[in-house]
A and B are shown apart, each in its own frame.
Chain A
């Protein structure tokens, strides 16, 4: 069977708990060592053991705490409509693989780029791998990572690009405003220029903080989870 529902690992089912994403965030900032998480450890455990207390880490399934809630979410999203069995997966699966009716999905493979890639001898990801990625992409946990990323990056980029453009256009078109003196020989132009430096440093810091607190833990959990499924 080509479109097999990726099996939900039993421990994840057991870890089902009321989703509270604030918990994951709160634990995200401190004591979280990225370099200590080897890829070979069973899915996402590496990430979790850093977050939970050592004595809590032992009975993992029973601890609906901190990062665990997060890790459990995609499975939860999958199983919500019913039992996670091959029998029920049919319609759901179709809905996921062909999000836009009419656009080439698995039903009309000849048109897609992958089909051409195959014809050309490009290494196509195994159907199973493609399915795992689709599955993760549709999961609530991944959508949370993407939402957090876009929620910060898109407005921040729009803001700094606009501010930079306004600045250079003003520098070449508004000499009257730019020449006004502020402190000693320094003018409005100098203040704006130094503000560009300051805003760059500020946005860098805000971005790093946002990524660390809102995305990193979730993304790392997803990484090990996805890699485990691909294995």
Chain B
């Protein structure tokens, strides 16, 4: 009797979850169809017509940024490791100051659709577009892999289909959906999907947060104490060092990750592309401010959720469901709704799962769009062309971008199927490290250093990208540790998991070295144009 009741309850909560998932898919496809009929020009496809308001764009940026890794992964880390999970949220938030002050307005004023546009304003465009196009695609592919691998394991887990095949089909389904969003709807559809998803995510988080606080009668101290006892670590749970303590290497690894998180956001192509969807630099600033407010409040709420999960669900239950803690939030919502088997629990569980699903769909769409724009606008239309060749029309460029979205979607699906064992948080950390090493140095030098040259720009990009990738290949992530991709072999010599602490200085160093060894000096007219346009917005599209 008991088992039968549990089985029906389990069945119904999965049915409800599946129903909500279908609802999310229908709504997003509806948005795509609606936006697709309205976008024709390249401006619509890449930049959503540039007529979003700062508030809308602020929500869309937050939607792009608060991925499943944040909602599920970081909350899980806080639930399992307490204070060390909090360190992640701080890195993710503080990074926005770099974007707000150094990048958002200037990039909005100088570029059209991609990072390559900003560099090409004062550099020879073929080499810098080739370099920035390649690095942008690498960064977005890593990020995309993280999201899709996460999607596979989470969706199958949430739907109770815990088999390799179900996971594979989930990845294929998510990949197919993201290709449809991007090819049919372009930036306009992607932006609206982000906005809807962000509203869903914030309301879901707020609801759970309020329920947790009410459960503890508003006493955060007793919440923290219960979380500490639920975690099984006692007081150590509320202090740093649970995950990143111990050996010096482990601690250094954390500092490396922290630097990569803070500097990486400013080089993420899908975040920078968002600033082109508003009309002016001031609107870009205000959307960044909205994003900081929304992202900041979201992370403050995830701290409460993480502590709540540890206190109400218990670390051992979370671990037995998912070793990395990725299911902490759904489990918490079930408890808050009245526990497993109750109707309230089933409804809240299904709602949380649907929010997580919407999150994954929205983020992969934004990533696919950014990488297809890099390919079509930077590589195909400009970098891969001889000087005497005719420029393709904007229409041709958009057609190529749509084809590129399909190809990138397929590549991401195939890679994700092979990468299912990789850790999601690790992949996101690599994406941030590559973005910080390859894109950010070139971007900052370009904006602020008068003497920066084309050679400096290409050296900065490749000089950050190559060390970052090489160090990852020879890190314990790939070989030589039980959790590695190839646990059987050991060819690692770099001790850290995150390459940021070495590769980011490499990017800056090579940018400087390439510039001072350049045969030709920087073009003063180019810098005058860039500086005037960046700070005043003259000639901005």
Contact = CB atoms under 8 A, between A and B. Distances in A.
B239 A136 contact: no
Contact of B300 (A113, A165, A197, A215): A197
Interface string B288-302: 010011001001100
A131 B397 CA distance: 32
Interface in B512-541: 519-526, 528-529, 531-533, 535-540
Contact of B83 (A136, A190, A208): A190
Contact of A173 (B93, B102, B251, B280): B251
A184 B387 CA distance: 69
Contacts of B258: 164-165, 168
Given A136-B532, A164-B94, A200-B296, A208 B289 contact: yes
Interface string A120-143: 111001000110011011000010
B46 interface: no
A116 B387 CA distance: 11
A137 B101 contact: no
A167 B86 CA distance: 12
A33 B25 CA distance: 40
B312 to A, nearest CB: 17
Contact of A142 (B87, B126, B529, B535): B535
A114 B235 CA distance: 63
B531 A172 contact: no
Contacts of B523: 112-114, 117
Interface string B424-459: 000000000000000000000000000001100000
B285 A208 contact: yes
A185 B538 contact: no
Interface string B116-144: 00000011111000000000000000000
Contact of B285 (A99, A211, A227): A211
Nearest to A170: B240
Q: Pick from B123, B235, B240, B521 the residue with the most CB of A within 10 Å.
A: B240
B536 A226 contact: yes
B239 A116 contact: no
Contact of B521 (A103, A201, A207): A103
B86 A120 contact: no
Contacts of B98: 157
B157 interface: no
B526 A113 contact: yes
Q: How large is the interface on B (under 10, 10 to 19, 20 to 34, 35 or more residues)?
A: 35 or more
A1 to B, nearest CB: 17
A189 B240 contact: yes
A173 B248 CA distance: 9
Nearest to B262: A164
A184 B262 contact: no
Contact residues of B: prevailing secondary structure: helix
B241 interface: yes
A172 B255 contact: yes
B456 to A, nearest CB: 11
A196 B523 CA distance: 40
A169 interface: yes
Interface stretch (A13-21, A23-31, A217-225): A217-225
A114 B254 CA distance: 44
A104 interface: yes
Interface string B13-35: 00000000000000000000000
B238 interface: yes
B529 to A, nearest CB: 4
Contact of B525 (A125, A164, A190): A125
A209 to B, nearest CB: 11
Interface in A192-210: 193, 196-197, 200-201, 203-204, 207-208
6 contacts: A120-B124, A121-B388, A133-B529, A142-B536, A171-B83, A200-B96
Would you list the 10 A-B pairs with minimal beta carbon distance, nearest first?
A121-B387, A184-B221, A226-B538, A130-B525, A172-B251, A137-B528, A168-B258, A171-B240, A133-B529, A222-B536
Interface of B: 83, 86-87, 90-91, 93-94, 96-98, 100-102, 122-126, 221, 224-225, 228, 235, 238-241, 244-245, 251, 254-255, 258-259, 262, 280, 282, 285-286, 289, 292-293, 296, 299-300, 387-388, 453-454, 519-526, 528-529, 531-533, 535-540
